Amino acid sequence: MEPAYDESTDEMFRPDMVGPVVDFLAELAAGGPVLELGIGTGRIALPLAARGLDVHGIDLSEDAVARLRAKPGGPALPVTIGDFATTRVEGHFTLAYLVFNTIMNLTTQGEQVACFRTVAAQLEPGGCFVIEVMVPDLRRLPPGETVKPFDFSEDHWGFDEYDVANQALRSHHLTFRDGKIDYSSGPFRYVWPSELDLMAAMAGLRFRQRWDGWMRDPFTSESRQHVSVWEKPTGDGSG
Residues of the chain with pLDDT under 70: 1-10, 236-239
Q: Which of 38, 22, 31 is nearest to 188 (CA)?
A: 38
- Work out the burial of residue 29: count CB atoms within 10 Å of its CB; fewer than 13 is exposed, 13-18 middle, 19 or more buried: buried
Phi, psi dihedral angles at 148 (to 5 degrees) = -130, 125
Name the CATH topology of 5-136+192-231.
Rossmann fold (3.40.50)
Residue 10 has what pLDDT?
A: 64
Residue 224 sits at the vertex; the CA angle it makes with 192 and 159, to the nearest 5 degrees, is 90
Q: Report the alpha-carbon distance of residue 221 to residue 112 in Å, rounded.
A: 24
Helix, strand, or coil (residue 32) = coil
Residue 106 has what pLDDT?
A: 98
State the pTM of this model: 0.92
- Provide the CA 11 distance to its chain's centre, in angstroms: 16
Domain boundaries, the chain: 5-136+192-231, 138-187
Residue 8 has what pLDDT?
A: 45
Residue 239 has what pLDDT?
A: 60
CB 77 within 8 A of CB 42: yes
pLDDT in tens, 137-175: 888 888 889 999 989 999 999 999 999 999 999 999 999
**What architecture is domain 138-187?**
Single Sheet (2.20)
